[in-house]
Amino acid sequence: MAVSSIPAAWRRREVLAGLAALPAVARAGVIAPGPVQPSWPSLVEHYRYPDWFRDAKFGIWSHWGPQSVPEQGDWYGRFLYMQGHPMYCHHLATYGHPADTGMMDIQHRWTAARWDPEALMRRFVQAGAKYFVSLACHHDNLDCYDSAHHPWNAMRVGPKRDVVGTWAKTARAAGLRFGVSNHASHAWHWYQPAYAYDPEGPHKGERYDAYRLTKADGRGKWWEGLDPQDLYTGCHMVAPDGIDTVAAMDAWHEAHDGQWIETAPPGDARYAQRWLLRQTDLMAKYRPDFCYMDNYELPFGPIGLAAAADYYNRSIDWHGHVDVVLTAKQLKPHARFGLVQDVERGFSDRLWDEPWQTDTCIGDWFYNRARFTDRSYKSAEDVIQRLADVVSKNGNLLLSVPQRGDGTIDAEEERILDRLAAWMAVNGTAIFGSRPWRIYGEGPTKLATGMQNEGAFAGFTARDVRFTTKDGALYLFFLKAPRGPVRVGALGRQAGPARVARLMRLGGGPVAFRQTDTALEFDAGDDGGIVPVYRIEGASVAFSGRT
């Protein structure tokens, strides 16, 4: 989505409201005291990239919540309210019209009845994960934890258990660093279609459930005591009466609530203040090592900066220094070294000076049964190629493995994880604890840098290679397994590395080679493996990486 062009008057008003709110929030003891102040210069001054994150390289993400229940993929809680969308059609046929049955009812159906976190964690560890991330709250605005400041949470709705807390305990027992992801700052605009209506057909003009339901309507129902307006966030950008075609309604949503907005709802600074309370509560309760913000930089101006300062000050209290990772997207120069930059479903065409992360999924972010039936998941080879490419450029890969609403994963996902585990058992030493070399690699494939561009990627070739270094050795990855003789120009004597003394295929043995002025040459054979890795040792000068 494009960044919203919100009127400047809104921005000024909401920033001023946020600034006015901060002292009161701080006086209430919400923001942890410490040296880090809610400003970009202070974040940059105090932040250091943790060694554990630089060593970990690979994390697995449980991007799991009530939107997994319909098994239709991403953004179900928005699209079910958009007439003509496939998810609207599925919802109408499966659950009823959204004027009567909406996203709150899907949240009620999220029971997690077959969730076995220990068994899943064992698979994730075997697949190479060194950190694990639990979704804490998506745009559907259900807190998947024991939330002190938001009644729509997983202790009261859906599974009736602390999903984040259970994941935290399980991940740490398995020796992993633990993280959370927070997407709730966008709920207020993302949910506005729930206040709209069908522009055509037998229910034309009939407003959906969010528009008509109040707390009083819950008397005697499963949601008694809960206010639907706390979930759906209130009327902020409601489609006006009189829209009479699906195309016109879609255009209205795209122009208004369909933008990626980082400010508070117009005239409602309370939403941002409550978001801050929820965020600081999440940090205080679970002490995560990692927090993913689904934002371009930080949300809500000074409110977002206060959340970052709170997290860093808490880390200083927990560890004696800032030893956590806070990610955001599209960082501008003033923010570049105060957070870790995340590149969602995208590539980089360069070796970064600082650690960074890309996040992607083997399918859709939320479980989509069609990915299983049409066998359209990313393969284990796809994942390992991305991992090698990202690590060679000083990055980490966070991989989502989508779960069904009941908490299970399907047989194809199990097979992918098993193949990752088999590759990691042989080649993981070239990934974990490694550092980039002086160049990331070579090859004919040109990557388009940026977010959300995976769909246009045509694939790597056997001439695309990547490098990492560790303990004085250089590791060479072929992103596509070559056959027969190969030449690596970056390892020719004239290119400047140390003289190659030994070459060994991981999982194999020594390999005969010839180092000329222009290339390292050897026969790669044809073993049918995926992303083969070679260890290279120098005769005199170690292949040192970036510190």
Domain boundaries, the chain: 8-344, 441-538
Mean pLDDT computed over every residue of the chain: 93
Q: Which residues of 185-223 are buried (b: 16+ CB within 10 A; e: fewer)?
A: bbbbbbbbbbbbbbbbeebeeebbbbbebeeeebeeeeb
CATH code 3.20.20.80 for 8-344: yes
* 8-344 and 441-538 have identical folds: no
What pLDDT tens digit does each residue of the chain (547 aa) get?
Answer: 332 333 333 333 433 444 455 555 554 567 899 999 999 999 999 999 999 999 999 999 999 999 999 999 999 999 999 999 999 999 999 999 999 999 999 999 999 999 999 999 999 999 999 999 999 999 999 999 999 999 999 999 999 999 999 999 999 999 999 999 999 999 999 999 999 999 999 999 999 999 999 999 999 999 999 999 999 999 999 999 999 999 999 999 999 999 999 999 999 999 999 999 999 999 999 999 999 999 999 999 999 999 999 999 999 999 999 999 999 999 999 999 999 999 999 999 999 999 999 999 999 999 999 999 999 999 999 999 999 999 999 999 999 999 999 999 999 999 999 999 999 999 999 999 999 999 999 999 999 889 999 988 999 999 999 999 999 999 999 999 999 999 999 999 998 766 899 999 999 999 999 999 999 999 999 877 999 999 999 865 566 666 6
Q: How far apart are CA 335 and CA 199, in angstroms?
A: 43
Percent of the chain with pLDDT over 90: 90
> What are the pLDDT digits (tens) for 384-408?
999 999 999 999 999 999 999 999 9
Q: How far apart are CA 197 and CA 82, in angstroms?
A: 8
pTM: 0.94
Instruction: Determine contact, residues 416/402, Cβ cutoff 8 Å.
Output: no
Burial of 358 (0-12, 13-18, 19+ CB in 10 A): buried
**Region 441-538: CATH code:** 2.60.40.1180
Q: How far apart are CA 412 and CA 233, in angstroms?
A: 37
